[in-house]
A and B are shown apart, each in its own frame.
Chain A
Amino acid sequence: MAREEIGKSEAAPASSLETGYERLGFWARIADNDVTYSFLRSPLVMAAAGITVTFILAAVFAPLVAPFDPFDPTQISLWDGKLPPAWVQGSNPAYFLGTDDQGRDLFSTILYGGRISLLVGFAAVFLSMALGIGLGVAAGYLGGWFDAFVMRLADVQLTIPGILTAILINGIARSVLPIELRDELAIYVVILAIGFSDWPQFARVTRAAALVEAEKEYIQAARVIGLRPFIIIVRHILPNVLRPALVLATIGLALAIIAEATLSFLGQGVPPTTPSLGTLIRIGNDYLFSGLWWITLFPALALVTLVLAVNLLGDWLRDALNPKLR
């Protein structure tokens, strides 16, 4: 009944939503954004974004792009092992970047290896982000014993540097698994190990941000309305603490890729049958003194380029999202 009366006194309020306000389209808004502006102004950052996207595409479409399948034993022959890159004497032009000790085409193996590096990187960061943000936001808003518990846990874990934790978790998990499953599950173990080793960073950052937000008056307004803590956390606090977490996630991706490579290099990561970039470098390192420099150099270059590009993006994102620096 109240509704009808309002309907009469209002000049069709619903229509004013569409007509009353001249509004930029979605894409125009993006284009007008300060972050977009600083992106378009920096060629280095654009190049980094290009490289990262190229790596991701190459990883996703590796089976289509790669000339050989390094996991298919029928395509590998030891006779073709240790061939140098195409521009060096004694090479086979079919293998552009040469072959490794097993006779796998290095270029194809790098493509497939990058696939593993990125998969582990993204999955591990996602894991630690979900864990860290969830615990951090809840700790920051709820406070009390929950906050104390989560943060002390984070403190203790930070006492042991991330890479050590990863080695430890990884090592233990492998020893617990039955031997026949070890190689099969290795990649998941690595993801878990790296993901669990990095959550305290996310928890700390989001907790700090959540503490700042929780003090703000819009949270108090939500409490005065009567909203329950869970809704306040999800609807009000979470969207406002994602920015710092996003910056951290970019840097975290670079660190996770390095961590995976390091584990594999130490022989603790994925098995040599499905080599990641770190595994290739490890193999190459054994032949470095005998002059087979390419087995190390090319995977290393690929790894460093990828990590550098991601780091450049993270660095730029941190500055671009920080209003104080503008």
Chain B
Amino acid sequence: MSLLDIKNLQVDFPTRRGVFTAVREVTLSVEPGEILGCVGESGAGKSTIGNAVIGLLEPPGRMAEGEIDLRGERIDNLPYEAVRRIRGRKIGMIFQDPLTSLNPLQTIERQLVETITTHLPMSEAEARQKSIDLLDRVGIPDPEIRIQQYPHQFSGGMRQRVVIALALCADPEVIIADEPTTALDVSIQAQILDLVRELCRERQVGMIIITHDMGVIADITDRVAVMYRGKVVETGPTAKILGDPDHPYTKSLISAVPRPDVRLKRFPLVEYIESAGDARKALDISTHWLGQARDFSKMDGPLIRLKDLNMRFVTKNAILPKNRVYLDAVKDVSFDIEQGEVFGLVGESGSGKSTVARMIAGLYKPTGGAIHFAGGELTAIASEREKDIYRRQMQMIFQDPYSSLNPRMRVLDIVAEPIRFHGLAEDKAHTEEIVLDLLEHVGLGAAAAIKYPHEFSGGQRQRISIARALATRPRFLICDEPTSALDVSIQAQILNLLKDLQEELGLTMLFISHDLPVIRQMCDRVGVMRNGMLCEIAETEDLFENPQHPYSQHLLELMPRLEVLSQEGLEVEADHPTGAA
């Protein structure tokens, strides 16, 4: 008998098209003081397990099979009131987004005291004292003062600490944490994980961490359960699963994780996961349409040159200029991107990296500085017609595949739009021909053309976005976090595709990411940004092996090392020595 036993769990969601089984034959257990990781990609059913344990399945979901035991006593068939008394008291829960998890209209104190007095025989004063102690324990400074504040007065990381305090305040024996650090920046993520681990050991709480992030798993879990399509395919000690996996799914999942320590040629071909559609066709730039009529003027020197770029937003408007509040999103940023180079920008949220990309793409007008591109000064051109010449040479791929395609247009029209606008094809039939060809080159197959975006998965949509970006025959591609909304295995596919296209077309790229391992896989040179300023520019390998700026060192320290990961089947880039492994 363990602290928490999940036996043969099956959860069904009846829909009008039949019963959808989100989770089946899941058997897991947690001991006191143990951290169990539950890892899998989206749709694997990992969150459903957490919701089933605490009895909060979204309707119409229901437990169809199995049982859940807490200290040997069955809890899944109890009446509502009994389950309610277990929630918070015996089993606590932490959700992903600390910004929306707290009631905005109550002070932290009210929320803590209310939870404590609901479950424990304490007076208001005792509960308040306990709350203050707890806030102190989860690392909130001046708890006596801050307890009287409202959630909006706390930063994201601090709010997640409050959420943890709320989950712990009635001394539960089990905690279920559903993606507890996904919404947070790396540096805060590391602190929160440390805190969670300490609390778990100190209070002998059993914990299930549900996550898609191998870094989190490697960092704090004792054991791991790997989930795939509603089933647990493999369970075992963390070191064993990550270092020497048995199941082919686990193997391919691990091989898709971007390595922080080595640079790979490309990701090994990931089998077992969503098929990429038809195998993509390699293309030869010397004969292909994409290489034809490239009326780019020959030039020497860098393709892009940024000089003292500034962007200042007004965050609070006022009639008098002195009362206005500004935010300097980008401050005096200068760098060059050579032709054919992949230049990376890395930084935490709010560092200004996306703002730089948007200024280059012409979505924001800089408040100061100059952008030189392909021999022209973009910031000095006023006429739309003249801008079109440069726009055609420069395209952008966005972060969110679910919002970057117009849901009311067919894929054919989406990809054809830039061709039509810039008049790159001779006639209608020619346009169609080019679109179908492009779709094959991004690995989708021509049949995709007459479907609508909602018929595709996230990874496939990102391929459509890439096809649309290629349709103007660009020489420069801006990728703004192109894979951060995707699962690891899909991310590996898209990164491979971008690598192939970059090589075949000789593209110059600006690659923006918050994810250092991804940067290492993709970029030749990197700039590190913080608070709108550029801290350091270095060759990628130099940065990772020998960072100069203290902030770069700090970021690299926080990066999960993932040394335990299996190296099976990886092709390491030849001219660089392997890192720590």
Question: Which residues of A line the B interface, CB within 8 A?
Answer: 1-3, 5-7, 10, 13-14, 16-17, 20-21, 23, 37, 216-218, 220-228, 236, 239-240
* A1 partner residues in chain B, CB cutoff 8 A: 292
Contact A10 B437 (CB under 8 A): yes
Verify if B404 is at the interface (C-beta below 8 Å from A): yes
Contact B446 A17 (CB under 8 A): yes
* A17 partner residues in chain B, CB cutoff 8 A: 432, 436, 446-447, 449-450
> B503 to nearest A CB, angstroms?
20
> A6 to nearest B CB, angstroms?
6
Known contacts A6-B433, A6-B434; A224/B395 CB under 8 A: yes
Contact A225 B445 (CB under 8 A): no
In this complex, what residue of B is CB-closest to A7?
Answer: B433
Contact A20 B432 (CB under 8 A): no
Contact B399 A228 (CB under 8 A): no
Contact B450 A217 (CB under 8 A): no
Contact B391 A224 (CB under 8 A): yes
Contact B447 A224 (CB under 8 A): no
Contact B436 A13 (CB under 8 A): yes
Contact B447 A20 (CB under 8 A): yes
30 A-B contacts, Cβ less than 8 Å apart? Answer: A2-B292, A2-B293, A3-B426, A3-B430, A5-B288, A6-B434, A10-B436, A10-B437, A13-B432, A13-B446, A16-B446, A16-B447, A17-B432, A20-B447, A21-B450, A23-B450, A218-B403, A218-B404, A220-B358, A220-B363, A220-B398, A221-B404, A221-B468, A223-B363, A224-B362, A226-B387, A226-B388, A226-B418, A227-B421, A240-B406
Verify if B351 is at the interface (C-beta below 8 Å from A): no
Verify if B559 is at the interface (C-beta below 8 Å from A): no
Extra contacts, 19 of them, besides A16-B436, A21-B450, A223-B363 (Cβ < 8 A), are A6-B433, A6-B437, A10-B437, A13-B433, A17-B432, A17-B450, A217-B398, A217-B400, A217-B403, A218-B406, A220-B361, A221-B398, A221-B468, A222-B417, A224-B363, A226-B384, A226-B422, A239-B408, A240-B406
Q: How far is the CA of A236 from the CA of B406 in the complex (A)?
A: 7
> A13 to nearest B CB, angstroms?
4
For window 377-397 of chain B, which residues contact chain A by CB distance below 8 Å?
384, 387-388, 391-392, 394-396
Verify if B483 is at the interface (C-beta below 8 Å from A): no
Q: How far is the CA of A23 from the CA of B391 in the complex (A)?
A: 36
Verify if B43 is at the interface (C-beta below 8 Å from A): no
For window 504-548 of chain B, which residues contact chain A by CB distance below 8 Å?
none
Verify if B72 is at the interface (C-beta below 8 Å from A): no
Contact B447 A223 (CB under 8 A): no
> B239 to nearest A CB, angstroms?
40
* A16 partner residues in chain B, CB cutoff 8 A: 436, 446-447
Contact B472 A240 (CB under 8 A): no
User: How would residues 440 to 470 of chain B score, 1 for a CB under 8 Å from any chain A CB and 0 otherwise?
Assistant: 0000011101110000000000000100100
Residue from B289, B362, B403 having most chain A Cβ neighbours under 10 A: B403
Q: How far is the CA of A20 from the CA of B293 in the complex (A)?
A: 31
Q: How far is the CA of A16 from the CA of B418 in the complex (A)?
A: 22
In this complex, what residue of A is CB-closest to B426?
Answer: A3
User: How would residues 131 to 151 of chain B score, 1 for a CB under 8 Å from any chain A CB and 0 otherwise?
Assistant: 000000000000000000000
Contact A221 B388 (CB under 8 A): no
Assign chain B's interface to a size class: 35 or more
Q: How far is the CA of A226 from the CA of B449 in the complex (A)?
A: 22
> B157 to nearest A CB, angstroms?
25
Q: How far is the CA of A221 from the CA of B413 in the complex (A)?
A: 14
In this complex, what residue of A is CB-closest to B15?
Answer: A326
User: How would residues 463 to 497 of chain B score, 1 for a CB under 8 Å from any chain A CB and 0 otherwise?
Assistant: 00100100010000000000000000000000000
* A240 partner residues in chain B, CB cutoff 8 A: 406-408
User: How would residues 331 to 368 of chain B score, 1 for a CB under 8 Å from any chain A CB and 0 otherwise?
Assistant: 00000000000000000000000000010011100000
Residue from B293, B426, B436 having most chain A Cβ neighbours under 10 A: B436
> A33 to nearest B CB, angstroms?
12
Q: How far is the CA of A218 from the CA of B418 in the complex (A)?
A: 13
Contact B392 A226 (CB under 8 A): yes
Q: How far is the CA of A240 from the CA of B384 in the complex (A)?
A: 26
* B391 partner residues in chain A, CB cutoff 8 A: 224-226
Verify if B297 is at the interface (C-beta below 8 Å from A): no
4 smallest beta-carbon distances between A and B, as pairs: A217-B404, A20-B447, A217-B398, A2-B292
Residue from A16, A37, A227, A239 having most chain B Cβ neighbours under 10 A: A16
Partner of B433, one of A14, A216, A228: A14
* A223 partner residues in chain B, CB cutoff 8 A: 362-363
* B363 partner residues in chain A, CB cutoff 8 A: 220, 223-224
Verify if B16 is at the interface (C-beta below 8 Å from A): yes
Contact A221 B465 (CB under 8 A): yes
In this complex, what residue of A is CB-closest to B293?
Answer: A2
Contact A216 B403 (CB under 8 A): yes
* A13 partner residues in chain B, CB cutoff 8 A: 432-433, 436-437, 446
> B46 to nearest A CB, angstroms?
23
In this complex, what residue of A is CB-closest to B390?
Answer: A226
In this complex, what residue of B is CB-closest to A10?
Answer: B437
* B405 partner residues in chain A, CB cutoff 8 A: 218
> A165 to nearest B CB, angstroms?
31
> A30 to nearest B CB, angstroms?
15
Q: How far is the CA of A88 from the CA of B447 in the complex (A)?
A: 70
In this complex, what residue of B is CB-closest to A22?
Answer: B447
Partner of B399, one of A6, A20, A217: A217
* A23 partner residues in chain B, CB cutoff 8 A: 450
Known contacts A10-B437, A226-B422, A227-B421; A221/B396 CB under 8 A: yes
> A12 to nearest B CB, angstroms?
10
In this complex, what residue of B is CB-closest to A228?
Answer: B384
> B94 to nearest A CB, angstroms?
24
Q: How far is the CA of A225 from the CA of B426 in the complex (A)?
A: 19
Q: How far is the CA of A37 from the CA of B398 in the complex (A)?
A: 35
Q: How far is the CA of A171 from the CA of B5 in the complex (A)?
A: 76
